[in-house]
A and B are shown apart, each in its own frame.
Chain A
């Protein structure tokens, strides 16, 4: 194996980690290009934090290598790695002011005072916190604490920025705003970033690529669009977006008797009053308004389909035709084809 990846980003090769006698991470491979923003997405307990902690150096993998910016750091302690982490509940030091929290990493690097001041002020301005520089972490809000944690990581000018569910402690509104801010900063600074999240919206909206994790492995690693359009496994398809499940065979917009699993995105189901393109008869069972669109439940004697519609919402009880525009067909959990 060579020592350098050439990409200058981050490379995980065959990582394995056993904790408490259980294999938590198994043969995990991942390459993050320089300047790229990658999400680790998966349900709670699938090993995202464990992976991140191996990248940061808090855990030494039982097998495999971690390569950061071309250097093998597998056995390097966290203090010597060119990575910086934003912890889930921020981990700000309560006995230091905001300024001191941010300045601490630079002080450890034996930088001179004026240089430290300059860089800390720069980064505090970047995250809009200059007015709080002398406050204690306990005196500022959750969103502000989050930005301090981010500033403390950014001030180190790391080769790789690691974020562990950075938004999970914020309320819904703030979450959307802060994630845009993070994405914006990341783009501007061109910093290689790995962000852990269990929220698909978050992952889809800010990542260049997403690694969907399941039980300590990566199920699929691709762009958000690809992930949505061609989920490689049934697991990914279920995890990303909504899905109607049917069992059978599929051809030409019709579901026939069979054993495959057919996944249909609700937005790919249309409902019309006249049968123009190979639809089948269905009745509107109920309608759930979701703001800018409505969730329409369509019923046939043997099956139920959900459709997302934003115009021409039908009334309950209305009869018509359901048309399937696109279906994902899986056999043994693997994607067979998209029709």
Chain B
């Protein structure tokens, strides 16, 4: 390419980046500013004034605080249970050949492709039968469903990509099978497992519709509360709540970002 073409491309790319920044970040920033706005007059680009009252309103609202607590309690539990249920399976998928292996993998995918809202009638029926309606256990199970695919597929790919001869070398050095698993296999698959945990946490933390169905009115989480907020409160309250809701995600990005971009997530989505 000639120098002139290169600079044309650069101009194009730069303006595209500017567009993307506006497209992606614009809505988030616009919302964030609302969280500190007194009021807003159209078509001004800045609010009439800044304030912290909305934050205080939320901090004083017992129901909202309760929903924050619920979310922060339930999601970690869901991630842990999901890990206990799925990680052994992930290992099995990557290391053993067994009857039904492919069908299991594809079945998980199919279950994921069914629109969950279409199941709520039957899930409600099932929950009434099992006495799970309006219980924490019920909410945990509903949220667990959305994490299974992450917690199985991504670690399975991670376990699968640990070279066998590294394990052999550990056995040769004198490590038992279990020791080899902990020191080598698990340790090398850790980035993938971490990504799976982050994705599962976000999936659970975000889940609103199922939680709404089985939890309300006894158990509110942040996202289910958010639906109510958006419809019944001033924009600013919802904005404050959004920022709160985004904090865990932002924290988790910083932990797992490198591995997610590094391909751990993408690897998980190929059937092997």
**CB atoms of B171 and A91 under 8 A apart:** no
Looking across the interface, which residue of chain A has its beta carbon closest to that of B173? A105
- A-facing mask of B150-180, CB < 8 A → 1, else 0? 0000000000000101101111111110010
Number of B interface residues at 8 Å Cβ cutoff, please give it.
17
A84-127 with Cβ < 8 A to chain B: 84-85, 87-89, 91-95, 104-105, 108-109
**CB atoms of A56 and B173 under 8 A apart:** no
Cα of A187 to Cα of B173 in the assembled complex, Å: 23
Q: A88 to chain B: which residues have CB within 8 Å?
A: 165
Q: A89 to chain B: which residues have CB within 8 Å?
A: 165
**CB atoms of A108 and B174 under 8 A apart:** yes
Given contacts A91-B163, A94-B188, A108-B179, contact A58 B168 (CB under 8 A): yes
Given contacts A87-B169, A89-B165, A108-B179, contact A95 B187 (CB under 8 A): yes
**CB atoms of A58 and B171 under 8 A apart:** yes
**CB atoms of B188 and A156 under 8 A apart:** no
- A-facing mask of B1-25, CB < 8 A → 1, else 0? 0000000000000000000000000
**CB atoms of A93 and B169 under 8 A apart:** yes
Cα of A70 to Cα of B268 in the assembled complex, Å: 48
Cα of A93 to Cα of B167 in the assembled complex, Å: 9
Q: B183 to chain A: which residues have CB within 8 Å?
A: 104
- B-facing mask of A311-337, CB < 8 A → 1, else 0? 000000000000000000000000000
Looking across the interface, which residue of chain B has its beta carbon closest to that of A53? B168
Cα of A91 to Cα of B188 in the assembled complex, Å: 13
Cα of A156 to Cα of B171 in the assembled complex, Å: 13
Looking across the interface, which residue of chain A has its beta carbon closest to that of B188? A95
Please give the distance in Å from B245's CB to the nearest CB on chain A: 35
Q: A198 to chain B: which residues have CB within 8 Å?
A: none
**CB atoms of A93 and B174 under 8 A apart:** no
Please give the distance in Å from A142's CB to the nearest CB on chain B: 16
Cα of A79 to Cα of B172 in the assembled complex, Å: 5
Q: B179 to chain A: which residues have CB within 8 Å?
A: 108
Q: A108 to chain B: which residues have CB within 8 Å?
A: 173-175, 179
**CB atoms of A79 and B174 under 8 A apart:** yes
Please give the distance in Å from B95's CB to the nearest CB on chain A: 15
Cα of A156 to Cα of B175 in the assembled complex, Å: 13
Q: Is B92 an interface residue (CB 8 A)?
A: no
Q: Is B184 an interface residue (CB 8 A)?
A: yes
Given contacts A79-B174, A108-B173, contact A87 B165 (CB under 8 A): yes
Partner of A93, one of B166, B171, B172, B176: B166
**CB atoms of A85 and B174 under 8 A apart:** no
**CB atoms of B165 and A79 under 8 A apart:** no
Q: A78 to chain B: which residues have CB within 8 Å?
A: 168, 171-172
Please give the distance in Å from B169's CB to the nearest CB on chain A: 4
Q: A104 to chain B: which residues have CB within 8 Å?
A: 170, 173, 175, 183
**CB atoms of A91 and B175 under 8 A apart:** no
Q: B165 to chain A: which residues have CB within 8 Å?
A: 87-89, 91
Q: B187 to chain A: which residues have CB within 8 Å?
A: 95
Looking across the interface, which residue of chain B has its beta carbon closest to that of A81? B172
Please give the distance in Å from A282's CB to the nearest CB on chain B: 52
Please give 16 more A-B residue pairs, beta carbons under 8 A apart, in addition to A57-B171, A80-B174: A56-B172, A57-B172, A58-B168, A58-B171, A58-B172, A79-B171, A85-B169, A87-B168, A87-B169, A91-B168, A104-B175, A104-B183, A108-B173, A108-B174, A108-B179, A156-B173
| Complex A-B, nearest 9 residue pairs according to Cβ-Cβ distance, in ascending order | A105-B173, A91-B169, A91-B165, A108-B174, A78-B171, A79-B174, A85-B172, A87-B165, A78-B172
